[in-house]
């Protein structure tokens, strides 16, 4: 049976603390199963990424790392990001040079990303039919794919409502 993941954007009232806790627990499980070590620094970087549904850049991560700990240098953050990517815990949004947490850690998949142009929220979807279609078309063209990242831009549900409200303001029914 084929699996299709339906991306979801964070909505008002979203329990983000639960989201972050689940992501960190999943990361621990994936790393333990692979015999990899999720160090404190790697865990902190992953937590920073998961604290938002907006992709986070390496220097933004560096700026958030706790000042009372030993100051982190850019190579430290990049090494942590490389580890997290290698173990399928984060994805890099190439066009933004930023990172988001993987919705399906430990699973072999090609993520497709819906990126809101207004608020920056990003949802990961994964549809094997899309992946297979791209692989098939590439093979038919004699093209060998090295890496596949699909990014789609538009408006998330919340921003659609906001934009609709701006485009169609309520009529003033008060008498003058």
Whether the model clears a pTM of 0.95, i.e. scores above it, the answer is no
Number of domains making up the chain: 1
What does the CA dihedral 100, 33, 2, 49 come to, rounded to 10 degrees? -10
Assigned domain for 95 exists = yes
CA–chain centroid gap for 103, Å, is 7
DSSP 121: -
Assigned domain for 4 exists = no
Assigned domain for 85 exists = yes
Q: In the structure, what pLDDT confidence band is assigned to residue 164 with cuts at 50, 70 and 90?
A: confident
Assigned domain for 41 exists = yes
Q: In the structure, what pLDDT confidence band is assigned to residue 175 with cuts at 50, 70 and 90?
A: very low
Assigned domain for 91 exists = yes
pLDDT at residue number 68: 58
pLDDT at residue number 4: 36
Contact 152, 111 (CB under 8 A): no
pLDDT at residue number 6: 42
- CA–CA separation, 93 and 99 (whole Å): 6
pLDDT at residue number 5: 37
Q: What is the pLDDT of residues 70-114, one digit of tens each?
A: 667 888 899 999 999 999 999 999 999 999 999 888 888 888 999
Assigned domain for 71 exists = yes
Which residues are 105's β-sheet partners? none
Assigned domain for 7 exists = no
- Residue 20 sits in which domain range? 16-167
CATH code of the domain in which 34 resides: 1.10.10.10
Assigned domain for 175 exists = no
CA–chain centroid gap for 124, Å, is 6
């Amino acid at each position: 049976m084929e699996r299709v993941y339906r991306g979801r954007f964070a909505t008002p009232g979203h329990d983000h603390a639960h989201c972050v806790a689940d992501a960190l627990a999943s990361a621990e499980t994936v790393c333990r199963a692979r015999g990899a070590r999720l160090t404190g620094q790697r865990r902190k970087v992953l937590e920073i990424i998961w604290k938002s549904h907006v992709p986070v850049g390496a220097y933004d991560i560096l700026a958030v790392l706790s000042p009372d700990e030993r100051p982190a240098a850019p190579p430290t953050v990049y090494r942590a990001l490389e580890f997290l990517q290698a173990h399928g815990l984060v994805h890099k949004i190439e066009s933004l040079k930023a990172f988001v947490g993987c919705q399906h850690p430990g699973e072999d998949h090609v993520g497709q990303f819906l990126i809101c142009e207004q608020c920056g929220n990003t949802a990961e979807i994964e549809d094997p039919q899309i992946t297979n279609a791209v692989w098939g078309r590439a093979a038919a063209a004699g093209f060998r794919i090295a890496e596949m990242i699909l990014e789609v831009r538009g408006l998330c549900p919340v921003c659609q409502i906001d934009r609709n409200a701006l485009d169609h303001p309520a009529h003033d029914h008060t008498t003058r």
